[in-house]
Chain A
Amino acid sequence: MLDSLQGFVHELRTAGLPVSMTENLDAMRAVEHIDIAEREVFREVLGSTLVKNHRHRRAFDTVFDVYFSLWASNPEDELAATARGELSGGGATGDISPEEIAQMLIDALLNMDRDALQRLAAMAVSKFAGIEPGRPVGGTYYLYRTLRQLDLNALGARMMSQAAPFEGDPLKERFQSEEYERRLRDLREIIETEIRRRLVADRGVEAMARTLRKPLPEDVDFMHASRDEMVSLQRVIVPLTRTLAARLAQRRRRRHRGQLDFRRTVRASLSYGGVPAEPKFRHPHPSKPEIMVVADVSGSVASFARFTLQFVYAMASQFSKVRSWVFIDGIDEITRFFDESDDVLEAVQRVNSEADVVWVDGHSDYGHALEIFHDRHLNEVTPKTSIIILGDARNNYHASGSWVLEALGKRAKHVYWLNPEPIGYWDTGDSVIGDYANFCDGVYECRNLRQLQSFVTTVAEG
């Protein structure tokens, strides 16, 4: 037991979770107090001692499943099951048609009979997934194959049609469909677990954990985030900005002491018999920076731009004013979308559909976009303004227009450039970031939340 616990902790650390020595010891002490056979209690106990950040919980759950849940039952049975599965769903399950499985699944789902679902999921996986032993995969493809055959949406529709009539009560219908949706989600999870269980039996715990290892939300690369990862990023962005805003507000307040506050000092001295033992100071009100964001939204970097805009606007309270533009080869101011709606996500969607950013052909032309920006808005740039430009500086071999940055830099407080590409790719091919960098106060690599966060801290502190 101790060995597998150590292996488990090691895997958590490799996945990027900060598990300290003390926490490790705590977990070992904790395990003595409980019955390990109770998986859920065991999971909570390890979770509460080892993982102190809710964002990391998912990573923890994956590793836990691989290490402890999946070999809960006798591994030899598992192997046998896998072996049977290989015979292309042969044996006992061979003569059941997909239609029959679907019907049985519906019955089990309507009664939410977990045991039956478990059995049926195992059957479906043997039949449809076509698992090939020894392949180093995480099972996503097998899951996809199984689900395509089962067609959960159709199952859901059939369940709805079998349910009691709603007599035109849309509310009831809604609840019913949400309830079935939850059950289908459970079924999906059961199937996924079943597939993983077989893979673990096939290739062993450590190999499987290695395959399933995924970056933590704060380390996900913006440019290559999968849809699921994007969703999990969306989920952490709001709490993260709140955290950051609170910290900045606090730091701004506490950074300098202001002038001596005579009245309060005298008041405080009364409790020391008139001796001004405790001097009081006025707190200064440092000005908040003004932000102009200019973002490239061409295909390759669009998700990065969207994300950063969302981040900046979620923190708008930390800046005295935020204005923003998006461009491809034309440029359009989008501040209005954010002013009109107090829902940042909705505004970002409107930017996607309504902003006018194409001038000629819809390939990035930084030079042209910057030139227009210069002509229209140079006078609005003040010494309080920080300009942030987002983009990979891949200019399709157009003129770079870097003189605009020079002109802006003379008027603005700072000009920063955020580049979502890894530093190694800069100035290769049509990237002209080096050209722009000459006129920027800073060019930052910004590939994940962690880097974005540290950049925003720099700017907001002015």
Chain B
Amino acid sequence: MADRFGTVDQVIEDLRKVDYLADASIASVVYLADRLEKPILVEGPAGVGKTELAKAIATTTNSRLIRLQCYEGLDEAKALYEWNYKKQLLRIQADRENETEWSDMEMDIFSEQFLLERPLLEAIRSQEPVVLLIDEVDRVEIETEALLLEVLSDFQVSIPELGTIQGTQRPIVLLTSNNTRELSEALKRRCLYLHIDYPDIEREKAIVKVRVPEIEEELAEQIAQVVSSIRELDLKKAPSISETIDWARTLLFLGRSSVSAETIGDTLNVLLKYQSDIAKAEKEFTPNPDAKPWGSIAKRKD
């Protein structure tokens, strides 16, 4: 067992050093994953830093990040291993004159040097510490999920011609999912579950300050407030953290030192990507003389 992290608090601290601000729930799960040697299944809206988390863990534990991007049609040959068919063919042809016994030949062409490593096998056989990121696992078909199971629970791969390859060390494994479909029970059972949501104002402000260091304190605060306010609206796609950061950079680039209703209107398209959402937010933020002060609390339902 590697014990990369001593305590939950240390996880927060370590991640902070590489500019990732983890909250208590993220830190607890990462700590637990390290202790129990179980993979983490990370879900949440797009752009809340699921993939970033894996990168941050890799940096802070001095590990190499091995990434398997999932897509529809991903198969064993792309995820686990593949026999180097062309090389095998060359080998057979080169051997034609020697008339080697077939059984010797077979032993030979199904040996390590004809094996092409794909990300999962690479992670298992790696000697140095690695973090394995299986990105957007919800994109593969439910049948393909099965090929992940052996890797996730026992950290081994069975290759019929070579036998079972056991992992040399237990890396931290993260799976991310945008929840476009329900993952199978078998997969979920093998993982710890972490749901990352949009951050609260304090945390978002801290994130903006870390990622856009030259920003003023006050502007960062206003940005976080506006974004959280926009997320309260009923939108098709709420702004993600990465969009907040983009927006912060935009404002900085435009030389604005504070946010006004006008600025919001001009730059909304950085935060929101649907026309109907933009229209809705614009309506909300244009000053309206008729609006009752304190409208939002009066609307509150108890």
A in complex with B: yes
Give me the interface of A with B, judged by CB distance under 8 Å.
18, 20, 22-23, 26, 29-30, 33-34, 38, 40-41, 44-45, 47-49, 51-54, 57, 147, 152-153, 156-157, 160, 170-171, 173-175, 177-181, 184, 188, 227, 239, 242-243, 246-247, 250, 254, 271, 273, 341-343, 345
A41 (CB) vs chain B CBs: closest residue: B28
Interface string of B253-278 (1 = CB under 8 A from A): 00000011100100000000000100
B293 touches A160 (CB 8 A): yes
Chain A residues with Cβ under 8 A from B276's Cβ?
341-343
B32 touches A48 (CB 8 A): yes
Chain B residues with Cβ under 8 A from A49's Cβ?
32, 192-193
A20 (CB) vs chain B CBs: closest residue: B189
B214 part of interface (Cβ distance < 8 Å)? no
* Cα distance A171–B218 in the bound complex, in angstroms: 14
B300 touches A45 (CB 8 A): no
* Cα distance A41–B40 in the bound complex, in angstroms: 16
Question: Min CB distance, A345 to chain B, in Å?
Answer: 7
B294 touches A147 (CB 8 A): no
Question: Min CB distance, B50 to chain A, in Å?
Answer: 13
Residue among A30, A33, A54 with the most chain B CB within 10 A? A30
Interface of A is mostly: helix
A178 touches B32 (CB 8 A): no
B297 touches A156 (CB 8 A): yes
A342 (CB) vs chain B CBs: closest residue: B276
Q: Which of B179, B185, B264 contacts A18 (CB 8 A)?
A: B185
Question: Which segment, of B61-69, B119-127, B224-232, faces chain A?
Answer: B224-232
Chain B residues with Cβ under 8 A from A171's Cβ?
226, 259-261, 264, 285
A180-B297 contact given A250-B141, A345-B234, CB 8 Å threshold: yes
A31 (CB) vs chain B CBs: closest residue: B32
Question: Min CB distance, A226 to chain B, in Å?
Answer: 12
A153 touches B229 (CB 8 A): no
B25 part of interface (Cβ distance < 8 Å)? yes
B301 part of interface (Cβ distance < 8 Å)? yes
A48-B193 contact given A147-B302, A227-B301, CB 8 Å threshold: yes
Q: Which of B28, B297, B298 contacts A48 (CB 8 A)?
A: B28
A243-B195 contact given A22-B189, A45-B28, A175-B225, CB 8 Å threshold: no
B138 (CB) vs chain A CBs: closest residue: A246
Chain A residues with Cβ under 8 A from B248's Cβ?
none
B8 part of interface (Cβ distance < 8 Å)? yes
B232 touches A239 (CB 8 A): no
Chain B residues with Cβ under 8 A from A271's Cβ?
85-86
* Cα distance A41–B8 in the bound complex, in angstroms: 8
* Cα distance A425–B7 in the bound complex, in angstroms: 58
B225 touches A178 (CB 8 A): yes
* 24 contacting pairs across A/B (C-beta < 8 A): A23-B189, A26-B38, A30-B36, A33-B31, A33-B35, A34-B31, A38-B8, A48-B28, A52-B189, A52-B191, A52-B193, A157-B297, A171-B264, A174-B229, A175-B225, A175-B229, A178-B228, A178-B232, A181-B297, A227-B301, A239-B179, A242-B180, A243-B180, A243-B182
A54 touches B195 (CB 8 A): yes
B180 touches A177 (CB 8 A): no
A177 touches B294 (CB 8 A): yes
B193 touches A153 (CB 8 A): no
Q: Which of B2-37 contact A (CB under 8 A)?
A: 8, 24-25, 28-29, 31-32, 35-36
B213 part of interface (Cβ distance < 8 Å)? no
A228 (CB) vs chain B CBs: closest residue: B301
